[in-house]
Structures are given as structure tokens and as C-alpha cells.
Amino acid sequence: MLSRTADNLYWLARYLERAETSARLLEVGARIALMPSAAGYRNEWESLLHASGTANGFAKKYGDAVQRNLESWFFFDTDNASSVMSCITAARENGRIVRTALTTQVWDALNTAFQELRQLERRPRSELDLSTLTDWTMRNTALVRGSIDATLLRNDGWDFLNLGYYLERADNTARLMDVKYYVLLPRLEFVGSGLDNYQWTTLLRA
């Protein structure tokens, strides 16, 4: 297998997994925001920026970590290399380059996701609530992954796709654990409390 093909398949999978992670992070932030804040409690939306490693870029462009700004940053902002728009666009470009290594079903699922996302971007933001955006992202990334599982040969290309998926997932799991302990809980004595247990339950949903 050509190293160029392996590289494109690897990054195609990483970008798809990262797009889904961005959507899940926002879903987690929305759930945690429903909890009453404890004294000294740090901003749950800010914790998402630390988990994604994009806090500095967000602060320069938007300033305050409020939900509406976070939605734009994580979904449509191309200045954020980890946004859903950036990741789906990059995944599609990687897929286009190695089109012959993909089945028609995989390419159709990937290209359709890209085209639908472009249509969503043109809709007024007042028509797009958070659940619509997160559900769309998770459904379409699952469609691409399902097409890969159902139609691709179990060859070197398959192995590089899975390498990308699993390394990206491991990286994001480690980031979530780090943020849970060092950002979300206000003080050490909260460990084992109802707030702590609720946060763990919410992270497991991600």
C-alpha cells in the first residue's frame, strides 16, 4: 500500500472521530450546565475548550465562553481545526484523494454529509438548536462508519482507518479524564459528592 494512501485513510478516520467528539462535548456541556453551580465552580463551557485544546483560539476570537459562541466555534467556525465543519471538510478531501480505495457507499455517505453540512451552515442560526446539530453530526458520522464496516475489504486500508479511529478516540478519552479532575470540580472535597457522580454519569454519556 502506498504511504500516501495510508496517510489519507488514517486522517479521514481521525477527522470523522474528531467531528463526533466535538458534537458529544457540546452535548455534555449542555447537560452539565443544567446543574446548579457550586461556590467556586468553574465554567462548564470553558472546560470543553480545554478538553478540545482550542481555548486560546476561542478566547482570541470570541472572548467569553458562552453557549452560543461555543456552538459556532465547535460546529461551523473554520478557524477551529477541530470544528465539525473543518473535520467533515478535511475528511471529505482525504476521501476524494483516495477515492479508488473507498467503496461507492463510503464515498456517498461522506460526500452527502459534507453537502448537508453546507446546507445547514446557510440556515439561520435561530432555526438550529443544539440537539439538531449534535444529532445530525452523530448520525452522519455513524453512517460513514457503518458504510466502512459493511462494504470495505479487511485489508491494509481497513487497518489504517481503524488506526485513525482508535488513536483519536484514545486521545479524546484522556482529555476528558484530565478535564474532569482539573477543571470541572471546584474543590477536592467535592470528590464522591452528588455533583461528582453526576459529572461522571454525564461524561459516560459522551
CB 32 within 8 A of CB 184: yes
- The reported pLDDT for the residue numbered 26 is 85
Q: Output the CA–CA distances (angstroms, integers) from residue 189 to 38, 179, 202, in the order listed.
A: 12, 17, 20
- The reported pLDDT for the residue numbered 204 is 75
Beta carbons within 10 angstroms of residue 134's beta carbon: 23
- The reported pLDDT for the residue numbered 41 is 46
Backbone angles phi, psi at 53, to 5 degrees: 75, 20
Q: Look at residues 25, 23, 19, 21 and name the one whose alpha carbon lies nearest to residue 44.
A: 25
- The reported pLDDT for the residue numbered 39 is 44
Residue with grid cell 476570537, as numbered in its chain: 61
Angle between helices 84-97 and 3-33 (to 10 degrees): 160
Whole-angstrom Cα distance, residue 153 to residue 158? 7
CB 22 within 8 A of CB 137: yes
Q: Name the residue ranges covered by the structural domains of the chain.
A: 3-205
- The reported pLDDT for the residue numbered 76 is 93
pLDDT in tens, the chain (206 residues): 579 999 999 999 999 999 999 898 888 777 777 665 544 444 667 777 877 888 889 999 998 878 888 889 999 999 999 999 999 999 999 999 999 999 999 999 999 999 999 999 998 888 888 889 999 999 999 999 999 999 999 999 999 999 999 999 999 888 877 766 655 555 556 666 666 676 677 677 66
